[in-house]
Amino acid sequence: MDCPRDNTEMTELTDGEDRLLFRCAECGGLWLDVADLNRILLHNGLATLEAMGGRANPEEDAGECPVDNVALLAVESQHKRNPLVYETCESCGGIWLESADFAEEGDSAEELTKGIVEFYREFAVKPGTKAARK
């Protein structure tokens, strides 16, 4: 599978629970299936992706789905000052996460999964709540 950003072949990673991640060695971005993402979120006490909300930004050039070769759609969190963004395929539901969101994480699937959880934990925080003020 090729990276939606730079068309580099991505490396396949599997965590201990057979969830599959694809990582680009060039840009560091991650691709994963929405079902795998929802399992990760639920196992860590978070809502599913659909329940988290967010707003679509059709103006942002989000790249092309490596599975279906259709345009990805950027989805932004509700944080106005510094919105978090992920890209999704409206056809297969696949998810693309930029490398900047995982700069602190290691290279194993388990370490990257922790980064995914932290990203979506922040994404799910609604503006104006106590957690958002930290």
Give the least confident one: 13-17, 43-47, 100-104, 113-117.
Answer: 100-104
**Any domain includes 73:** yes
Q: In whole angstroms, what is the distance from residue 57 CA to residue 53 CA?
A: 13
Please list the alpha-helical segments (H only) found in the chain: 34-43, 49-52, 109-124, 130-133
**Any domain includes 5:** no
Q: 67 is in which domain, residue-wise?
A: 10-27+36-125
Average pLDDT, the chain: 86
pLDDT at 16 (0 to 100): 72
Q: Please, what is the Cα angle at 120 between 36 and 82, to 5 degrees? A: 145
Number of domains forming the structure of the chain: 1
**Any domain includes 130:** no
pLDDT at 2 (0 to 100): 95
pLDDT at 45 (0 to 100): 95
**Any domain includes 131:** no
pLDDT at 107 (0 to 100): 76
- Dump pLDDT digits (tens) for 72-115: 999 999 877 778 899 999 999 999 998 766 656 677 888 888 88
